[in-house]
Chain A
Amino acid sequence: MNKQEMKDKAFDIRCSIIKSIANCGSGHLGGAMSIVELLTYLYYEEMNIDPKNPTKKDRDKFVCSKGHAGPALYSVLADLEYFPIEWLNTLNMGGTRLPSHCDMNKTPGIDFTTGSLGQGISAAVGLALAQKLNKFNSYTYVLIGDGESQEGQVWEAAETANQWELDNLIAFTDFNKQQLDGYVKDILNLNKLKERWESFGWFVQQIDGHDFNQIEGAIRNAKETKGMPSMIILDTIKSKGYIPGENILENHHIKLSISDGEKAIEELKRREGRI
């Protein structure tokens, strides 16, 4: 997939997320929209996965530790035919297989259940360790939120991954600078986030999380770095692509009607020059 095709795919995924959350009436739209480029690059370009064989033992794994971003992942997995695309219309409804937070028991293609913040990165440490023990030449990718990084467990996992030299563990921070109650800097500031991860013994890069070239380069660098885990801090915009939610304070959990969603998609098309 070339970079233009990736951009087109990211656009489609964004439209799909807006539609599925609008169909539900509300959802964690902000933190889902900010990770679209990352998911697009990982799932369509980077990861060794087979949607027809989602439990293949030596596959690469992805843990969405910020589990509330599930709707973004569901749109990708549906597009890759892990499950019927119609499931997206059941998002977060009673009896759905696509709950608001990622659930490996319910959704094909989800590699680990998340929801309680801070836990996914520990599970990812276990998954990466298992890949090493099994002598698989595979990677575990994990995405944490910036608000999530306030959890102590994240730093327990950080020191452990360094101690065990898990260079097959590539983590990302969705650094969109906003959390549920407001701006991260106003609530519990992540001072010197890059230096903090470096001090825990990780190879750290900070990039534009919406730029495919930078994502590609950072993952390449991470894979070339041996003996230590990698953290790629993604500078992102919360709600990126759902324009009414961009640059506003309360964009963690957004209410929107189906017509709101349709209007937002038209607005996004205009901004991206697609009409």
Chain B
Amino acid sequence: MEIAMRDAWGNALVEKGKTHPELVVLDADVSGSTKSILFQKEFPSRFFNCGVAEANMVGTAAGLASAGFRPVVNAFAIFLALKGTDQIRNAIAYNNLPVIIAGAYGGLSDSYDGASHQSIADIAIMRAIPNLKVIVPSDSNQAEQALEYALKQESPVYIRLNRNPMPEIEKSEEFIKEKAIKMIDGNDITIISNGITASFALEASKELEEKGYSVELINSPFVKPLDEETILKSIRKTKKVITIEEHNIIGGFSSAVSESIVKNNVCCKFKAIGVEDTFTQTGDYKELLSFYGISKENIVNQALKILN
């Protein structure tokens, strides 16, 4: 059953709140959207609505973390990334404080609120901050796993969440070991998904299999640290790779993979699928994704171009 990632996140906060008394949750007046409101209902004394003041919220969380609490800050991904960047960098990451930064409504998932609210630069920003781990869950299971993982860290973690229901992919324990998840073994081409593109990549792989191609399908929720071992091993084998992400193709997951390819002198054909460095429009979510090429059809088309 498809569960909206935000609902899964809110429920996961409540569950972890029961066993982690040090867990405190902060929100910037969007708790009804991020679903941190569920935590507020269960643990009102450990929930702090900071109002529409993201910078102060992030700084306050840093103070709480330095005093031994485990804060989770919730707001829309793009506003955390842009209005809280200085605080995330200097107050949290520089001090290596274990704050969980939960960016809601990532990618295009706040589809009807337009370019101001759509988050296609957050991963580029977050991955350039030392000490900060960056995760983009693919589905509700991975969102829950990401929280569990983050609570075990002694360093900050950015978890980029999605608003909407998405098809679930098979749950894997590899994820919380900071590993990419091999979903299908193959030899002709490597397709690597990040975030909610996982289900599109799975469908595309099946279609390519039907056309007679052997696809190696990998899902990589981690942008940082990147599981270079799994990813490069596959690319060395297939010598062709497609990455798919819900982000600008500048600075995000595809950039992380391509940097790894170049750094390790791997020779391959490479195609990054994502938003092609443009401000995005408002509209229906799935139509928007498709418009910007984040779709099964585009993955198949791009794969066929590389394969032929």
Contacts and interface: CB of A to CB of B under 8 A. Distances in A.
B56 interface: yes
A160 B50 CA distance: 7
A164 B48 contact: yes
A166 B126 CA distance: 32
Interface in A67-125: 104-105, 111-113, 115-116, 118-119, 121-125
Contacts of A123: 59-60, 62-63, 66, 91
Given A105-B94, A113-B91, A122 B67 contact: no
Given A104-B95, A113-B91, A159 B59 contact: no
Contact of B63 (A105, A126, A163): A126
A122 B55 contact: yes
A153 B51 CA distance: 13
Interface in A119-143: 119, 121-131, 133-134
B90 A122 contact: no
Contact of B59 (A111, A122, A128, A133): A122
Contacts of A220: none
A157 to B, nearest CB: 5
Residue from the set B48, B61, B62, B63 with the largest chain A CB neighbour count within 10 Å: B63
Interface of B: 24, 45-46, 48, 50-51, 53, 55-56, 58-69, 71, 86-87, 90-91, 94-96
28 contacts: A105-B95, A112-B66, A112-B91, A112-B95, A113-B90, A113-B95, A118-B55, A119-B87, A119-B91, A122-B56, A122-B60, A122-B62, A123-B66, A126-B65, A126-B67, A126-B71, A127-B63, A127-B66, A128-B63, A129-B48, A129-B63, A129-B64, A130-B68, A153-B56, A153-B87, A157-B56, A160-B51, A164-B48
Interface of A: 57, 104-105, 111-113, 115-116, 118-119, 121-131, 133-134, 152-153, 156-157, 159-160, 163-164
